[in-house]
Amino acid sequence: MWLVVLFSFGFLLGSVLGSFLNVVARRTVAGESWWGKSRSRCDTCGTPLTSSELIPLLSWLVQRGRCRTCGAAIPRSYFYVELVCALIGALVTARWGQFLPESVSNGKALLPLLLASIAAYSLYLNALTDLYSGYIFDLFALAPGALGLLLRVGGGEHALIDGLLGAALGYGIIACIILLSRGGMGWGDAHLMAGLGGILGWKMTGTALYFGFLLGGFWAVLLLVTGRAKRKDAIPLGPFLALGGIAAILCGPSFLAWFGIASEWPWNTL
Binding span for Zn ion by CB under 5 A among 34-42, 144-152, 183-191, 261-269 = 34-42
Nearer to Zn ion, 75 or 134 (CB): 75
Residues 11 and 90 sit within 8 Å (Cβ to Cβ): yes
Q: How far is the CB of 33 from Zn ion (least distance, A)?
A: 22
Nearer to Zn ion, 38 or 268 (CB): 38
Q: Is 45 an interacting residue with respect to Zn ion (CB under 5 A)? A: yes
> For Zn ion, which residue of 42, 169, 194, 209 counts as binding (CB under 5 A)?
42
Query: CA distances (Å), 20 to each of 17, 46, 104, 105, 115, in order?
Result: 5, 19, 30, 34, 19
Binding span for Zn ion by CB under 5 A among 11-19, 36-44, 100-108, 162-170 = 36-44
Nearer to Zn ion, 70 or 257 (CB): 70
Which positions from 46 to 85 touch Zn ion by CB under 5 A, shown as an x/- string?
---------------------x-xx-x-------------
Binding span for Zn ion by CB under 5 A among 45-53, 85-93, 176-184, 254-262 = 45-53
Nearer to Zn ion, 69 or 133 (CB): 69
Number of residues forming the site for Zn ion (CB under 5 A): 7
Q: Is 127 an interacting residue with respect to Zn ion (CB under 5 A)? A: no
Q: How far is the CB of 47 from Zn ion (least distance, A)?
A: 5
Q: How far is the CB of 68 from Zn ion (least distance, A)?
A: 7
Residues binding Zn ion (CB under 5 A): 42, 44-45, 67, 69-70, 72
